[in-house]
Every structure is written in C-alpha cells, then in structure tokens.
Amino acid sequence: MKQRKRSSSGCCGWFLVIIVLAGIAFAVFAVLKHKTWGSGSPALGDPKKYSDALKIAMQFFDIQKSGKLDENQIPWRGDSALKDGSEAKIDLSKGMYDAGDHMKFGFPMAFTATVLSWAILEYGDQMNGAGQLEPARNSLKWITDYLVNSHPTANVLYIQVGNAKVDHGCWNRPEDMKEARPLTQVNASYPGSDVAAETSAALASAYLVFKSTDSTYSSLLLKHAVQLFQFADKYREVYSISIPDVQTYYNSTGYGDELLWAASWLYHATGEATYIDYVTGENGDDFANWGSPTWFSWDNKLPGAQVLLSRISFFGSKEVSNSDALDKYRKTAEAVMCGLIPKSSSATSSRTENGLIWVSEWNALQHPVASAFLAVVYSDYMLTSRTDKLSCDGDNFKASDLREFAITQANYVLGNNPMKMSYLVGFGNKYPEYVHHRGASVPGDENPGCKDGFKWLDSDDPNPNVATGALVGGPFLNESYVDSRNNSMQGEPTTYNSAFIVGLLSGLVATSSVVQSFA
C-alpha cells in the first residue's frame, strides 16, 4: 500500500541524524521495556482518560480550519485563504489544511469527513456525554460546506487548492500566505473515480449526521452525494493517473474500494436496493477482494466497507437480497478482526515488540489507530446483536477481546509506550514539542514571507504555539521517536489521523450498544 510522502527543506540531512538517534534510543529502551512493559499485562480501560483525551483531540480540527474564523477557539489562529476558489468564482475558503502545510487535498479531506461522520453516528451519545458532539458536528460541517462548494456541476469536482511544490517551498503561517492558490479539478475528460466516490461517501454519511437537525442542509448533502457517485461510476479512472501531479503526496492505488465504500454509505443513507445490489453484484466480485484482509487507510477503504456492510448482516440481512455476498463481506471483516487480536492464530506480525500495530514508517500511527477504531466498532456490533463469539481458525474470541486490543492501541498512543510519551499533543505531561506544523512553529506576532519563516523550521526552540490535539506520525518500528521539527516522517500530524483517534476515543468512553440503524 502506498503511503503519503512528505518533503521539507533540510530533511535529508536530518534523516541521517534520525537513524543514529533511533539506534541509540532503541538500545536504551530495549533494556527498559523488559522492566516496565511485560507482554502479559492485561489492558485496562480508563473512561475518564479517554474522555479527557477526546476533548483534546477534537481541538486539532479547529487548528486546521481555513477561512473566516468567526468563532475562533485557537488564540494563535486567524482568518486565512479567504480568496480560495475565486478564480473559478466559487467559495473554497472553508475546508481544512491537510497537515503541517497549507494544502487542501480533497481526497484525504473527504476521507476525514467520512470517518468523522461514522464516529458521530456510532458514538454520538458518548461524544455528547463528553461535551464534544457539537464540536464534532461543527468541524464536520466546516468540511462538508467546502465539499459541496467544490462540486459546482454534476461532473466537475475541485480536488485541490494550492500548488504542492510552491506550498512546500514556504514556511509561514496560513494567515500570512501570499502565494498563488491554483485549483485542480477532475471532470469527464480527466476523471477521478476514487476522489469523487470518497467525496460522495463523505456527503452521504454526513447526510445521516445532519438529517435530524437540519433537513434542508442534509438533503443538499445527499443530492451531491448521489451525483458524485454517478460521476465516479460512469467515468472510471484513478485520479492520480488523470492528474499525475498529485502522485507525490496522495497517489491513489485504485478506485474500486472507494466505489464500494460510497455505495455502502448511500445504502445506509437511502435504503435503496440499487446500492446494496451494487456492492453485492459484479462490482463486489471485481473490487471487494473477499477473504483478503487489508489495512484501513486514506488509500484503502475496503476494511471500512467490510465492517460497515457487516452492520447489515448483524442487524437485518434477512431483508436484503444476495445475502451470500454480504456474508463474504462479513467474513472478510472477521478476518480483519482476527488479524488484530494478538492471541489469534492468524494475528498479524506487523507489530512492535510492545504490541503497537506498525505498517509504515511514514505516519506510523495511522494504521494502529484506524485498526483500533474498526475493532471497537465491530466489538460493539457483536455486543448489540448479542453475538457471543468471533471464530478465528477454530479459536473463539469475544467482543471483549477486540475491545481489549483497541484499548492497548489507545493506551500506547496516550503514553503507555517505551518513550513514556503521549503522541497526542497536549495530553499528559510529556508529548512532542517540535511538531512539524508551520502555524504552530511561527510566533503569533511575526509575519514572515514565504522564505523568511524557514528560520523557525530550523530553530532549536520548541514550538511557541502548541498544536493541541495533533496526533503526530508516531514511532519507528524500534519504538523510538525523534522530536525534531525537521522530522516530518514522525512529527507531522494529519486531519485524517485526528478523525481516527476521535472515533477510537469516543468508542472507549463507555461500553454501550450502538444504534441498529442510522436511518
């Protein structure tokens, strides 16, 4: 699976430093871990800790907001990118910056919205109990407002604001940007089924979030979701083939997973059989990859679709045609779950010595947090449906085993790791102080130009502004972490990571049933 790549000035030299320091750190912590982290220690959940962490994690969405911030909650943030979209006479001032940069990449931004919607739909009560439901809805709407505006006609979708090469040649605050902000679109001549379908999934899932509180707005979201799915399905192509310039950062490896993902959300939104027929018929045969578990990420939606479609077989498959195909989705979801449970005979070996799922050195925490989110959701499906066991090659496990796995991943992120450091900025007594994030690194009373700000990238001082709620990229396989602003591989946060951690923490605030229908 291809991962997002980041680049910044001066990073090559730092990688040599990182490798040396990582080796030193590994030697130190290899000794410590045997004294402190025994593999037989049971995972203990702490609802208050997860509630506190959830309140912190939610704040990163406010940090990433573009546009006019009328109710700004972050003292060092202000209005920015107010003219985005003006060259096409549309308003793209909202949305969220992708990571530590000022790019608006539509593919991962839409995925952020889909995951955040899913988290709200499954765990809105838990969010509400922690006082975070309204902030979650507000952050979601900030993205969906942008996505609606980015779809001005049926077969046109603007999928990027900014030139990545130019943007990454600057180091300044978003409030001080003066460089050009060109627009990139997919259309019938240069299609992008993956990004259009992901945007459809985002708007279909958000429709379900808002339909009880704002029927007019939710109807608008569903209208765009349906059009975008039709566009994605009719004009089939990978967007990074149509537009090679996007390959450097979010190179898609296919569009089949997004088509199934979008159709799954449209089925939940509309109840229309055409969408369930879509995922269980020929398209399922072509794209579902049944029986082959994979990793849930911005580039691969199959595990998410498999778990989401399992909802139907858990809570009402008798009313759906082609239940055999739905069973294949559920069995593949079960295979994903069996791979996560450490004691399963089919448990993945892609873990650190202390049990963190580890797949990629770039943005390493995406996969464990995404996997843990799916595990806690699936465990709650089992509890709600009174499903006693999950069978993994003859061994039986309970919903509590999945929840325990999810807790181990959350606890690791929040500080139960060899570094004894929280990877969620602002949580606990120790967390990264040199986060790779422009706005956080430049003092608020400075107004540097594009190139002038690089002195703060290279500064030895901690960030003057705390990027509260940022989930950084995470540890190396040897469980070391180098807290350097130039270390974008480990130290850069993303909005989609935030969606995953918000969903996971919301699911761990309390053990409870999920709703049996989003409708």
pLDDT (tens digit, 9 = 90+) per residue, 307-333?
999 999 999 755 666 789 999 999 999
Q: Structure pTM?
A: 0.92
Q: Which domains does the chain have, with CATH numbers?
A: 11-508 (1.50.10.10)
Neighbours of 157 (CB within 10 A): 28
**436 assigned to active site:** yes
Q: Report the b/e string of 45-70 with b at 16+ CB within 10 A.
A: beeebbbbbbbbbbbbbbbbbbbebe
Nearest C-alpha neighbor of 299 from the set 364, 254, 259? 254
Question: Which residue out of 102, 151, 268, 436 is catalytically annotated?
Answer: 436
Per-residue pLDDT of the chain (519 residues; tens, 9 = 90+): 333 443 333 333 344 334 434 444 443 333 333 322 323 333 448 999 999 999 999 999 999 999 999 989 999 999 999 999 999 999 999 999 999 999 999 999 999 999 999 999 999 999 999 999 999 999 999 999 999 999 999 999 999 999 999 999 999 999 999 999 999 999 999 999 999 999 999 999 999 999 999 999 999 999 999 999 999 999 999 999 999 999 999 999 999 999 999 999 999 999 999 999 999 999 999 999 999 999 999 999 999 999 999 999 999 755 666 789 999 999 999 999 999 999 999 999 999 999 999 999 999 999 999 999 999 999 999 999 999 999 999 999 999 999 999 999 999 999 999 999 999 999 999 999 999 999 999 998 998 999 999 999 999 999 999 999 999 999 999 999 999 999 999 999 999 999 999 999 999 998 767 888 887
How far is residue 284's CA from residue 256's CA, in Å, rounded to a whole number? Answer: 9
Helix axis angle, 106-129 to 302-315, nearest 10°: 40
96 forms beta bridges with 65
